Amino acid sequence: MTYDFDLFVIGGGSGGVRCARIASGLGARVAVAEERFWGGTCVNVGCVPKKLMVMAAEYGNAAGDALGFGWIAPPGAHDWQALIAAKNAEIGRLNGIYIKLLTGAGVTVFDARATFLDAHTLDVGGRRVTAERIVIATGGRPTAPPFPGAEHVIVSDDAFFLPEMPKRVALFGGGYIAVEFAGIFRGLGAEVDLVMRQALPLRGFDEDLRQALADELTASGIRLHPNAGVRGVTEAGGVKTVHLPDGGTITADLCFAAIGRSPYVAGLGLEQAGVAVTQAGAVAVDRGSATNVGHIYAIGDVTDRLNLTPVAIAEGHSLAEALYGNGPRHWDLDRVATAVFSSPPIGTVGLTEAQAAARGVTDIYVSRFTPMRHTLSKRTRKTVMKLVVDQATQKVLGAHMLGEDAPEIIQGLSIAINAGATKADFDRTVGIHPTAAEEFVTMRTRTRVVGEALAAE
């Protein structure tokens, strides 16, 4: 059978665009359909605009810090509309770059929704299109809150387009999005309440960093409500009231639910193609990104595996090379570095203390200190650094940091850990002085030993 395209990618986010570009460069006839915005969540309503907003909040903090260095300036006022306009302009520029990348690679572009009619046929904006192979790269969408009064609550997609800066914000959630926006709104001058189901933010992260972040959020003036849910939200005269399980209430101008994201498969017509989904609603795939239908694949957040933009890009690149090249490029996804752009930020790679301890005896090195900047600024802010080391082999299994520049520092350490560096390799590396990063190569005193084997002894 002759098909319109060799490969059709549903979704113009980072993973889908990379897959399409590489496949086209390898000689395939490729098309991509995007119904919403080019670049996907990360570029439009995710990591890129969010980090720009984090930077805006940090400028306000830095202005306050400057007094400790002799700069005398009156407190300034923040122009929310100017920030949103500048952010929108930058996102528009990036949207255009994605289109140019695709068309420059010879990819056919559809500004339309694509849905399955059968396993090889798609409805693309009302046009019937066939493809030999199809890749699902539709990403995820914010999860709507389940409690009464959800109509009074925004989700993360809405937060990037607010017409004005709220004065009082109630945030629900304890993950990336919740703690990042808590820092953004607080840094821009809002009163912030953060309601979390867990005792500490960032479930799944290293416990030392979770506790340190909670301390930093509190020090910044954010009111934490741990081990709490939301019974409902009511509104009267534009003012929202959050009702907590213990009978308490929070008054806010803006309520923001950041309680997770779900794979975006609604209305995609997967049943028409016979594509299976997991119990959680994600597209089910194997390690090679193949679904149960031999010629249909899925990459990125729609598979709900490791939901990070660079991982989606790696999956897309590998898939294109596997299908049309000399075999896939391999990335080690067991030790992927990640960052949380909280205030201060977190960078982490490898195993947490708890994960390593479950595997065997582990040496733990922890350092806590006041960053050099804040010895003069007097702002209450700490840096925490941590190394997790296998006692038998002395390989560094994990590196974790909360503090200014943590994501930049951990990216470099990620190379060393993926290369199998040992604690001795760290110890014989000469640090750059004075920097915070040098602490990672000067931690000589073990903080504690943990692990199952130790307990057995």
What CATH code is carried by the domain that includes residue 368? 3.30.390.30
Taking the whole predicted model, whether its pTM rises above 0.85 is answered as yes
Residue 109 lies in a domain: yes
- Say if residue 328's pLDDT is above 80: no
Report percent pLDDT > 90 for the chain: 94
Same domain, 250 and 281: no
CATH number assigned to the domain comprising residue 11: 3.50.50.60
> What CA–CA distance (Å, rounded) separates 63 from 71?
9
Q: Say what the pLDDT of residue 456 is.
A: 47
How distant, in Å, are the alpha carbons of 139, 326, 373 from that of 192? 29, 53, 26
Element (DSSP H or E) covering residue 265: none
Token digits of residue 299? 């990459």
Backbone CA torsion sign across 98, 99, 100, 104: positive
> What CA–CA distance (Å, rounded) separates 283 from 304?
8
Average pLDDT of the chain, as a whole number: 95
Q: Which positions ≥6 away from 340 have C-beta within 8 Å? A: 176, 179, 180, 202, 205, 213, 346
pLDDT of 245-276, one tens digit each?
999 999 999 999 999 999 999 999 999 999 99
Question: Phi and psi of 53, rounded to 5°?
Answer: -70, -35
Same domain, 14 and 131: yes
pLDDT of 138-182, one tens digit each?
999 999 999 999 999 999 999 999 999 999 999 999 999 999 999
pLDDT of 176-221, one tens digit each?
999 999 999 999 999 999 999 999 999 999 999 999 999 999 999 9
Active site residues: 433
Q: How many domains does the chain have?
A: 3
Residue 186, helix vs strand vs coil: helix
Q: Domain residues for 289?
A: 5-142+262-333
Residue 433 lies in a domain: yes
Question: Among candidates 260, 283, 207, 228, which has minimal Cα distance to 447?
Answer: 207
Same domain, 104 and 13: yes
Same domain, 247 and 102: no
Q: Say what the pLDDT of residue 455 is.
A: 46
Task: Confirm if 295 and 132 have CB atoms less than 8 A apart.
Answer: yes
Residue 173 lies in a domain: yes
Residue 339 lies in a domain: no
Same domain, 87 and 121: yes
Residue 20 lies in a domain: yes
- Say if residue 330's pLDDT is above 80: no
Length of the chain: 457
> What CA–CA distance (Å, rounded) separates 30 from 22?
10
Query: What is the mean pLDDT of the segment spanning 121-127?
Result: 98
Residue 63 lies in a domain: yes
Residue 338 lies in a domain: no
